[in-house]
Amino acid sequence: MSLQIGEIVDGKYRILERLGAGGMGEVYKAEHQFLRAIRVVKVIRPQISASADAHERFLREAQLATKVQHPNVATVYDFSALPDGSHYMVWEYIEGENLAQVIRRRGVLQPKEAIRLTVQTLAGLDAIHRAGIIHRDISAENLMITPEGNVKIIDLGVAKAEQGDYAATQTGMFVGKLRYSSPEQLGFLQPGEKIDSRADLYSLGVVLFEMLTGRPPFEATSPHQYFIQHSGGTNVQPIDLTLLPNPLRPVLAKALESDRNRRFANAREFSTALERVPDTAAAETVRTPIPTQIAPKPRRSNDAQNAIIIGGIVLLLAVGVLATWLYRSRPPVVAQQQQKPIVTTTSAAPPTTTTVDVAPPQPVPQPVVTPPPAPASVAVPQPEPQPKPQPAEPARRPPPAVRQEEPQPEISTYVEGTGNDAAVVYAQQQLRGVNRVSLESSSPELEPLMRKLGLTISDDARVSIRFNGIVTRMRFGRKRREGRGWITKNGRTIFRYEMKPEEYRVGDTPAEAFARVLSDVFGR
């Protein structure tokens, strides 16, 4: 079904422009007539959605997708049927361009930026997988980059309906996505096995490789060749990881394992591995173009460099001659002070001042001895006993290690939608083995959720949990939520949680979101 510009769909969505088409149907930019909000309307072709099984799959996926509320995932707002039998889904409209367009425009992304975009995508995938959804169509085309540089995963739910429809390769639509498909999606599974979330991690590994090199790890001219390359067989040429910065090679090698049991177990494990990659990975790539700019220097300054070297040698020789002359001229003066002045007057005759000073001492021997000792005694650094002021050492001891422990609780602030792995890890270390907690909450629903995690609520527990969550209902089905939580152990705060005020339609309540984070903190 093709819609016309200006046409009203289902009495609510006015079509503004056609954005594109795919194997499933048409994609349009539309405006909600009542909310005045821009949306994306995807109309699924009647021949695809005619069967009852297809309709049930689409409806189930739409229901699951509405449970995903994450800043890195596009939101599904609506799902319905049209009079001609076709179905449509309404998605969040995202300003910007997809990652494939970014790569075509820029060629290669710096490792630091590629890692940042991949970590954001993994955060969105983690939310999708927790909702029980497997995207199955992670690709550079399905990752939107906002003007602020943030990632939004799109086409959630529709890709799963395409799984197994290999007839789509006849049209060429699925050929492009074969570059990112995991071996499981291409049928390399043992009897009884099913595709799981690790398929999305494999596809994202292909995307990361493409961001870093400008090309995907597998390239072919036919679907059959892609099947062979993704299979990871013994006759298949391995992926050339030497194109990647050294610190990223083991991460990509694990993400692109053909055997899913050797890949990262989940999105968080993949994200943690990327966050541990040192910043030197970016420096490796930045250094490659610099030699082309620095190379001209040796060509145009060989003579100048030789002149500088010769000049330096001459300067060193001059300094050496001067130092030798000074050294040979000073010893007589030293001897003049150590020996009798009568001997020094003969050797130091040229200076007129010395002959005048030496003349008086000759008649009186004793005064000759007294004048030199005075300056000699002053010149001798006898005050050197002063280095014994060792009281300065206690001044270095005051900075004890205790002060360095104080900032540790500062890492324990977890912001919903942004996360903080360091906060979770720190709390896990402090709460290892804890099963009994006390609870003080303004949300009654939190207690049963905590009991489902296997936690026992007791007023005399050493670990205390406090939580305040607020949900405000607004017009047109909108709601506003916010929340704050604390975990203390023996009276000391070790973890803080914050859900900043935000509007939403479908999603977790503050208590449900906090309980989800608690499951990670307590390792449940």
Cβ atoms of 40 and 103 within 8 Å: the answer is no
Which one of 53, 78, 126, 137 is the catalytic residue?
137
Question: CB neighbours (10 Å) of residue 457?
Answer: 14
Residue 28 phi, psi dihedral angles, 5° rounding: -135, 155
Whole-angstrom Cα distance, residue 151 to residue 118?
9
Known catalytic residue: 303?
no
In terms of C-beta distances under 8 Å and separation of at least 24 residues, what long-range contacts does 53-57 make, across chains too?
Answer: 54/161, 55/87, 57/160, 57/161
| Interstrand relation of 8-9 and 97-98 (parallel, antiparallel or unpaired) | unpaired
How would DSSP label each residue in 340-368? Answer: -HHHHHHHT-SSHHHHHHHTTTTT-HHHH
Three-state secondary structure call for residue 486: strand
**Contact of 270 with 248, CB cutoff 8 Å:** no
486, 484, 448, 451: which is closest to 465 by C-alpha?
486
Kindly give the pairing relationship between strand 87-92 and strand 97-98: unpaired
CA dist 25 and 175 (Å) reads 17
DSSP β-ladder status, 87-92 and 38-44? antiparallel
- For residue 486, what are its two tokens? 């604390």
Q: Which helix (H) or strand (E) holds 41?
A: strand 38-44
Output the CA torsion 404→408→410→415 (10° steps): 150
**Nearest Cα residue to 205 out of 83, 278, 118, 120:** 118
Phi-psi region of 454 (alpha: psi -120 to 50; beta: other; left: phi over 0): left
Place of tokens 């205390």: 464
Radius of gyration of the chain (CA): 38
- Classify 409 as helix, strand or coil: helix
Cα gap 197→127, rounded to integer Å: 11
* Catalytic residue list: 137
